[in-house]
Amino acid sequence: MLKKLQEFKTIIEQFDYTCNIIEKGELTPVDMLLVSLEDDSQAFAISILPLSEDLDGSFFVQFYYEYPFEISPNEYSQIGSNIIAVNRQLPLGNFNYTISNQQVYFKYVFALPIKANLEPANIADIVDMVVFAISNFGRFFESKNQE
């Protein structure tokens, strides 16, 4: 699946995003493509699933981003309500939070046929929508967390 990540990297870089492939290792359980956000201090990850060849006709592309702020355990209920409200508005992907590391995250997964050719315009649209969700709603969650 590293080859497929390289294809994504080539396409995404055409649209002025900075990308870096991190190969599976001790610190990362899967190969992933990191795509920098506007300020280059943050990046979201793209990974390809499944990790084995268990599926015959499809592979799944996952976009994932964890926000760099922690949420207070006292705020779980309010953050959960805000996440539900925001998720209803999203055209793709969803937000959630983890109790273990107290962070809000964004995730979007879509399926493609194994033999599919990646279409640059389609990938650009998806990346733009992911960046929009991460950038705009992250500020909302952070501000709600600080109230």
How many residues in the chain? 147
Contacts 24+ apart (CB under 8 A), 88-92: 90/133, 90/137, 91/129, 92/126, 92/129, 92/130, 92/133
Distance CA 111, CA 71 (A): 31
92 pLDDT exceeds 80?
A: yes
Higher pLDDT, 139 or 59: 59
Residue 65, amino acid:
Y
Interior angle at CA 66, CA 64 and CA 69, nearest 5: 165
pLDDT of residue 58: 86
Residues of the chain with pLDDT > 90, as a percent, come to 54
120 pLDDT exceeds 90?
A: yes
147 pLDDT exceeds 90?
A: no
Q: Which two tokens stand for residue 90?
A: 């999203």
Task: Output the pTM of the full model.
Answer: 0.90
- Average pLDDT of the segment spanning 48-75: 83
Q: Pairing state of beta strands 94-98 and 103-113?
A: antiparallel
**Position 146 confidence tier, pLDDT thresholds 50, 70, 90:** low
pLDDT of residue 40: 64
| pLDDT tens digits for range 5-54 | 999 999 999 999 999 999 998 888 899 999 999 876 889 999 998 656 66
How many CB atoms neighbour CB 1 within 10 A? 17
- Which of 68-72, 73-77, 85-89 tops mean pLDDT? 85-89
